[in-house]
A = this chain, B = another copy of it.
Amino acid sequence: MTDTQTNGSKTRPVPADFADNGFFGRDVLSVKQFDRKKLDHICQVADEMRSMVERFGSADLLQGKVLANLFYEPSTRTSSSFAAAMMRLGGKVISINEVRYSSVSKGESLPDTVRTLESYADVVVLRHPEVGAAAKAAHYARKPLINAGDGVGEHPTQALLDFYTIRRELGQVDGLNVAMVGDLKYGRTVHSLTRLLLNYDTSFTFVSPDILRMPAEIIEEVKAAGHSFRETDDVHSVIGEVDVLYVTRVQKERFEDLADYEAVKGCYVITPELMQKAKQKMIIMHPLPRVGEISYAVDDDPRAAYFRQVENGMYIRMALLAAVLGKA
């Protein structure tokens, strides 16, 4: 019924209906794996997933498959999103949320834990606090592994759902002016999204307090790719020009001098008044959770896309799960 081949990926039995989409049997570790063609493919599959969910609720595409949802640190949003994605594809989910209380606290290594859990499962989703954990685990795993965030390293599915949201909300990505606001120094999501957008003809507006500017490394990548960008600490001066306003949290803890924090914090809160200056066709995004950086009064603005962004996360994860299991 199945045949085994090594298609540049992990050695896996190939389903009868197999067509190499570039994902089958592979790990999803980094946004660097995604070019325009792959982004197109995944977004199209995500659209199909949305349409299926709206019409039927779930499908049986991954009937008989089991996901090990392995979270070394809590992340309700991401773990629930992957769980719902697997369930809506007809698959089953083993959730391991208490790793800190478990064998690991008896000293078991990450590779051993992953090799154990993949014995029960067909695909592994891993969240881990350490940079590089996903790549390390994937090296030992026989089954496809999806990185659900490894410390300040990568969180590729967040970047993909961000990208998918821009594309879906605004119809295209080329030609957009994408603003990122808040903590651009430590914000994993803005780094990854910027890198993904380098595949398209976008310009960037980086808005942050001086001490939280986009790292030089990312700025160099933007320059090297020939994209125009500007840096500013004033969201008011740029709000009228942007197509996407990607907001992140400015954390008090980042400031050595609290007076500096108090001086800037109000500048990065998105309010209805600020939104009056924005284009009619633009969107506000946020990776959530938010703690004050977008006023609740903005939620009813049709440009507020952050809860649609959450839902998009489920469709993107459905697309990825189906893809690595050879069903998309």
Interface check A128, CB cutoff 8 A: no
Which residues on the B side are within 8 Å of A310 (C-beta)?
115-116, 119
**Contact mask for chain A residues 299-328; partner B; CB cutoff 8 A; 1 contact, 0 none:** 000000001001101100000000000000
Interface string of A47-60 (1 = CB under 8 A from B): 00000000111100
* Interface membership of A245, Cβ < 8 A: no
Residues of B with C-beta under 8 A to A314: 119-120
Q: A77-B116, A115-B307, A119-B307 are in contact. Are A289 and B63 (CB under 8 A)?
A: no
Judge whether B74 and A63 touch: CB under 8 Å: no
B55–A107 touching, CB < 8 Å: no
Asked whether any CB of chain B lies closer than 8 Å to the CB of A83, the reply is: yes
Instruction: Mark each residue of chain A from 171 to 191: 1 if its CB lies under 8 Å from any CB of chain B, else 0.
Output: 000000000000000000000
Partner-binding segment picked from A86-94, A131-139, A145-153, A232-240: A86-94
Residue of B nearest to A73 (CB): B101
Contact in complex: B92, A58 (CB < 8 Å):
yes
Q: Are B74 and A64 in contact (CB under 8 A)?
A: no
Number of copies: 3
Q: How many residues of A contact B (CB 8 A)?
A: 54
Residue A30 is within 8 A (CB to CB) of chain B in the complex? no
Knowing A57-B122, A112-B289, A307-B119, say if A66 contacts B94 (CB, 8 Å): no
Q: Does A225 contact B (CB under 8 A)?
A: no
Contact of A98 among B68, B74, B108, B313 (CB under 8 A): B74
Contacts of A74 in B (CB 8 A): 98, 101-102
How many whole Å from A282's CB to the nearest CB in chain B? Answer: 21
Q: A84-B66, A115-B307, A289-B107 are in contact. Are A99 and B120 (CB under 8 A)?
A: no
| Complex Cα gap A115–B80 (Å) | 13
Q: Does A194 contact B (CB under 8 A)?
A: no
| Extra A-B contacts (16), CB below 8 Å, given A58-B64, A64-B88 | A57-B122, A66-B87, A68-B80, A76-B103, A76-B113, A77-B116, A83-B94, A84-B94, A87-B94, A106-B291, A113-B289, A115-B307, A116-B288, A119-B313, A120-B311, A120-B314
A-B contact pairs, 29 of them (CB 8 A): A56-B64, A57-B63, A57-B66, A58-B64, A58-B92, A64-B88, A66-B87, A66-B88, A75-B102, A75-B103, A76-B98, A76-B102, A76-B103, A77-B103, A77-B116, A80-B96, A80-B120, A84-B121, A87-B92, A88-B92, A95-B95, A97-B98, A104-B289, A106-B289, A108-B289, A112-B289, A119-B307, A119-B310, A119-B313
What is A's interface to B at a CB cutoff of 8 Å?
A: 1, 55-58, 63-66, 68, 74-77, 80-81, 83-84, 87-88, 92, 94-99, 101-104, 106-108, 111-113, 115-117, 119-122, 288-291, 296, 307, 310-311, 313-314
